Amino acid sequence: MPRFLLLYALAWAGAAIAYVPFLSILLPVRVAGLAGAADVSWLAYIAFAGAIAASAGHIAFGYFSDITGNRRGWICAGLILSCTLLFAITRARDLPTLIALIVGWQLALNMMLAPLAALAGDCVPDAHKGLLGGLMAFAPGLGALSGAAVTIPGLALPDARLALVAGIVACCVIPVLLVRLPPRVPDPPVAHDAGPRHLWQGAMPRMWVARLAVQIAEAALFAYLFVWLRSIDPAMSDNQTARVFSAVLILSAPLALLAGRWADRQERPLLPLVLCAAISACGLAGMALSGTLQTAIAAYALFGIASSVFLALHSAQTLRVLPRSDRRGRDLGLFNLTNTLPSLIMPWLTLALVPWFGFTGLFVVFAALALGAGLLLVPLARRT
């Protein structure tokens, strides 16, 4: 089991490397070169179409891997197709072509991601899900680090950077396709008054809403962190903001690993989620009240670390509350909507609140959402 967990975590990091550097750096640079002054509107169209494709693809390919029972076949096909489409994107010369290729790439990427997510539920028993979540927490930081690596000046031309990304992703994902899988985790016994299935009855909607609430706040800070910090101190640079963001990712991963191991040993799988949601709310409240750059960064660090730990552990603990193992891929696709919907909700929420109440009002709403997420999970945490 330890070897599989490490190889699975490597594959999960490869999945993050597949999209983080491309969507955050390489695609905007390419769009700027093609569209010039229209790059913002191009990126908006691409982001919207990509989010729809990612949402639909994750549900569809998760379900296909359920009914075929061949997770690794779909992972392999998605890996090959997504890497191939990365190369094809270098040939796009107009917006319709670029959007079509991005939609195809998102579908291929989720052909890999959806069965990969379900594979953990097939092979990792509940006693190791906290450790799994902690190991998965390293993926975002490695995704960001890969973006910094492939953009080192003089290392590679723009088209070659995409080839580097594809090569790194393949090296990360292929080992889990070759290793011998652990025995499949058996379904929990059916019990009338007690037992695992009764314990988690009704948990799926609570887990879904709680993750969505935290993800909305996390997505907003990902998009507007620099703008907010500049509103407090105009001297704040983009490089300083990037360093703060990177430090949060680096610190959150080992903390998630420690929290996940503690949850496994104490058999309290959801208690860290409740605590992290509450700490996230405190961090957001501190952000709303911050008047200096130092207090603002400290409050953001509190929120960023707690929310990152929450999201990593939530991804693993979700596997224990899914009602049907034979539809695990489909159900995880529905949970994946909590990752894509915030990018559609957050801009409108920001436009509705910031002009009238400033970032203070926005962070108060986000603090209420994070607190609500914790309260939703309290009844589930008490059952274990």
DSSP 36: G
Distance CA 55, CA 60 (A): 9
- The label of the residue with tokens 């094809």 reads 88
Distance CA 205, CA 335 (A): 10
Kindly tell me if the per-residue pLDDT of 369 is higher than 50: yes
Contact of 59 with 330, CB cutoff 8 Å: yes
> Average pLDDT of the chain?
86
Distance CA 156, CA 222 (A): 27
Distance CA 62, CA 291 (A): 46
Instruction: List domains and CATH numbers for the chain.
Output: 2-126+138-178 (1.20.1250.20), 196-382 (1.20.1250.20)
**What CA dihedral angle connects 68, 69, 73 and 76, to 10 degrees?**
110
Distance CA 269, CA 259 (A): 10
Contact of 49 with 99, CB cutoff 8 Å: yes
pLDDT bucket at 67, cuts 50 / 70 / 90: very high
Instruction: Please report the pLDDT score of residue 194 as a whole number.
Output: 46
Instruction: Please report the pLDDT score of residue 383 as a whole number.
Output: 65
pLDDT bucket at 191, cuts 50 / 70 / 90: very low
Tens of pLDDT, residue by residue over 96-151, are: 888 899 999 999 999 999 999 999 988 888 888 899 999 998 988 888 888 878 87
Q: By mean pLDDT, which of 95-104, 184-193, 346-355, 364-373 is the weakest?
A: 184-193
Tell me the two tokens of residue 164. Answer: 């580097």
Tell me the two tokens of residue 22. Answer: 């491309």
Instruction: Please report the pLDDT score of residue 276 as a whole number.
Output: 96
Please compute the mean of the pLDDT values over residues 197-215 and round it to a whole number.
80
Q: What percent of the chain has pLDDT over 70?
A: 93
Instruction: Please report the pLDDT score of residue 192 as a whole number.
Output: 44
**Residue 87: how many CB atoms within 10 A of its CB?**
12
Instruction: Please report the pLDDT score of residue 188 as a whole number.
Output: 57
Instruction: Please report the pLDDT score of residue 215 as a whole number.
Output: 93
Kindly tell me if the per-residue pLDDT of 354 is higher than 90: no
End-to-end CA distance of the chain: 24
Please compute the mean of the pLDDT values over residues 55-82 and round it to a whole number.
94
**Which of 383, 382, 326, 344 shows the shortest CA–CA distance to 121?**
326
**Residue 136: how many CB atoms within 10 A of its CB?**
27
Distance CA 91, CA 326 (A): 40
What is the Rg, in whole angstroms, of the alpha carbon atoms belonging to the chain?
20
Tens of pLDDT, residue by residue over 311-328, are: 999 988 888 888 777 888
Tell me the two tokens of residue 342. Answer: 């915030």
Tens of pLDDT, residue by residue over 224-272, are: 787 788 888 888 876 677 778 878 888 898 999 999 999 989 888 889 9
Instruction: Please report the pLDDT score of residue 300 as a whole number.
Output: 93
- The label of the residue with tokens 């990712």 reads 249
Contact of 27 with 86, CB cutoff 8 Å: no
Distance CA 161, CA 330 (A): 33
Kindly tell me if the per-residue pLDDT of 47 is higher than 90: no
